[in-house]
Amino acid sequence: MSATDPTAAPPVTLADYAAGARSVVEPDVWDFLEGGAGDERTLAANLAAFDRVSLRPRVLTGRGTPDTKTAILGRGWAAPVAVAPMAYHTLAHPDGESATARGAGAAGVPLVVSTFASRTFEEIAAEASGPLWLQVYCFRDRATTRRLVERAEQAGFEALVLTVDAPRLGRRLRDVRNGFRLPRGVAPANLSGADFSSPSAHAATEFEPALDWSVISWLRSVSSLPILVKGILSPDDARRALAAGVDGIVVSNHGGRQLDGAPATLDVLPEIAAAVAGACPLLVDGGIRRGADVLAALASGADGVLLGRPVLHGLAVAGARGVEDVLALVTEELTEAMALTGIGSVRDAGPELVGGRAVPARPVHNPGPSGLRPEDLHGSVSDPVLGTMTFLNEITTHYPDAVSFAPGRPYEGFYDTEQIFTYLRRYLDHLETGGATPEQVRSALFQYGPTSGQIRELIADSLRKDEGIDVPPESVVVTVGAQEAMLLAVRALIRGPEDVLLVSSPCYVGITGAARLLDIHPTAIAEAEGGFRCADLAAAIRAERARGRRPRAFYIIPDHSNPTGTTVPLETRRELLELAAREDILIIEDSPYRLVSPGRQLPTLKSLDRGRRVLHLGSLSKTLFPGARVGFAIADQPVTDASGRTSLLADELTKIKSMVTVNTSPLSQAVVAGMLLTADGRASELNKATAAYYGDAMRVTLQALESG
């Protein structure tokens, strides 16, 4: 059984590996490894929870060999199992985390590296062939945390796992009984300058004790890596995590919780899964000792599990090969459990598999006469971003005399109610002059009309005259404001979790809100002093590809950006188009303010686009008629199917629109079309006075601010 006894029978169960490990490490070291980050009660509760679960066998399902593969954060895993973060692997084997990385890579699963790893991030990365994530503790000295994160990112790590339930590690009872201190020569390879011999004492003095949810934003500011939070045990905290914008959640009670009756992770997993509702990957750890435990976790709502102590047992017995064997054994047991329960894929695991629950079933919530609760709805409705537009419009409605710089509402003094009828009549005359019969004119106003819009020719003509954008009308989709155009573009381009939407940041709240509705978490490209830099976008694209993800599109407002007000220089615009071609991404150009801005305008990205790299979004709200809610998307990119048939991206956006708004109001389109026709298609002519007025208002405002 022992690694030092070549005649012993090889381990064939996880219990064999545990026995073998116990025989090759010192007793106090064994207690340290087994004690984990909690104590005996934590481990016992987790083990008991899995023991209470029974899985329902199914027969004659015709499923064939089960498929254990999954994908999380855009990376494929051979099984829904990752190696949990654990400190000081050199206590189990001289090669430490380097050997663990080799074993995890050979098994095709990720390794979550502890901040207190006994090998450097660079050494571990050199041995890894699978994804590496970094477990992050937030230190009182944020500069220390920043340096660790930056080093890990530079070494090729693909995600950050922030431990949020460990403001202190608590009393590890086995270590207290043994008076355990780390052996000489064992210390965190990535930290220095402190006494690490007593892990609990070090944590008490060095960990930040007063973290709040703002730490997520802080981590975003220092790293572009996806962020998971580890230590969630309640649905409320899961919802808070989603609102904070995390990329994943780990249900875990390994943060040293010493509360009597603190729940086992499997006990709380179903209600947390219900709260998350698929908005991000959900992982769980604690007490997993069999492949059937993995399947029970999946059936209870997890997307994957983190396996801890058994990996250290394999490491102690046979180094990297032992780690690989332990992970292979768990995967083999998972495959067997899936076959016996009739599951063909890990994606098929659901609550119907579970015959016995870890805790008595909670009563199903019945809204009754009191209505729904926020937690019964999609997580986006609790996101503050989604309330922004409504709040700004309500403020303006309730306080009409207030001067507000927030909502971007056009000045109402430019409008005359009677003009609506004039413009509508102008469009009807246009239809009749073009040969439309009275029945066709009636249908154009009263019926739904084509989903792609009935004034595409007029919009294309206006863009050609005002902006030098020469595209066929077939590439235009008329939308319900530019906001719908954003939703259609993001939904069409971002296919799944492996696809990435990049955004210039700070960015317009509408794009982040649309992404949130679709459970997409954009990657922010922070503007430097002076504005956007292509080098920062190129670096972010490389980083995303290093994590196995696929950058698809970059959203930017190049003219008078909302909210920063910056304008991208002409040279940078050309550089951005070259970058998009080189990196094979699309640019989503949003430019609603150009025609109402004073001064000479730079060319749009779309007018400079020679490779169909730009998906241009436009709005006629700021320039013509806000209440009409007419926007558009220019999507002239070719889409070729497997048979070789080619269409336009505009056709695909139209398919999505047909299931969102069906069509844009024909009456609104008619009024806007009449406005364009009165100016021979030149919206710029209709906005000369508007732009001059706003220019004067801007100068007066700046003078008042300077004098005040």
- Cite the active site residues: 254
Q: Which amino acid, 649?
A: L
Q: Which amino acid, 682?
A: R
Instruction: Answer yes or no: are the C-beta atoms of 163 and 136 closer than 8 Å.
Output: yes
Q: Which amino acid, 239?
A: R
Please tell me the distance from the alpha carbon of residue 241 to that of residue 229, in angstroms, as a whole number.
8
Instruction: Answer yes or no: are the C-beta atoms of 74 and 497 closer than 8 Å.
Output: yes
- Pairing type for strands 159-163 and 132-136 reads parallel
Q: Which amino acid, 73?
A: L
Q: How far is CA 93 from CA 13, 126, 128, 129, in A?
A: 20, 18, 17, 20
Burial class (CB in 10 A: 0-12, 13-18, 19+), 400: exposed
Instruction: Answer yes or no: are the C-beta atoms of 277 and 235 closer than 8 Å.
Output: no
- Cis status of the peptide bond prior to 369, with omega within 30 of 0: no
Angle at 106 between CA 100 and CA 112, to 5 degrees: 40
Tokens of 698: 């801007």
Strand order in the sheet with 499-505: 476-480, 630-634, 614-619, 586-590, 550-556, 499-505, 523-526
| Chain position carrying tokens 């709200």 | 621
Tokens of 140: 């009182």
Cβ atoms within 10 A of the Cβ of 158, count? 23
What contacts 465, CB < 8 A, 6 or more positions away? 680, 681, 682
Nearest to 511 by CA among 608, 622, 386, 636: 386
Instruction: Answer yes or no: are the C-beta atoms of 44 and 468 closer than 8 Å.
Output: no
- Pairing type for strands 476-480 and 354-356 reads unpaired
The dihedrals phi and psi of 263, each to the nearest 5 degrees, come to -70, 150
